[in-house]
Amino acid sequence: MFTRWFLAGDGKVERSGGRSILYRRDLTSSVMLSDIVAKVGGKARAEVSLHDIFTLMNEQGSGNPGVLRTDGGLNAFFVRDQQGKLRNVNVSWTSYGQLGNQEGWNVSAGPVYYPDPPFPFGYGLYQLTAGWVFSH
């Protein structure tokens, strides 16, 4: 879904700007994504840019310690897609390959609110169970 929502066609274009200050919150129990957005102060405070995310990923390009989790745990963000709809973007550091000898960032996206076609009710992408949530 990330590719469809953010990279299709000419891709999402963001205005360049200074680096944002993001706050990290530890998520220790299962919470609906929409509740996270409300808890951090609404859509405007929850929303970050792809630029913010990729800047953090670049700073930890080899899985180095830093702001983002690199233990395989989830880093959750909320970003507007090309159509202006708020989406959940998840980033995690993973080992992959036949021998587990390759490492890199895994980036995925999902809906924040239901109903959100094409996801049927109960699909399971509407809540997080553990991880770090980033917002303004």
Domain of 50, in residue numbers: 23-135
Residue for token pair 């949530």: 133
5 sits in which H/E element = none
Count of structural domains, the chain:
1
pTM for the model:
0.82
- CA distances to 2, 17, 56 from 108, rounded to whole Å, are 5, 24, 16
The pLDDT tens digits along the chain (136 residues) read 899 999 998 888 887 666 678 888 887 777 778 888 888 888 888 899 999 899 999 999 888 888 888 888 888 899 999 999 999 999 999 877 666 667 889 999 988 876 554 444 443 444 555 566 777 6
Residue 1 lies in a domain: no
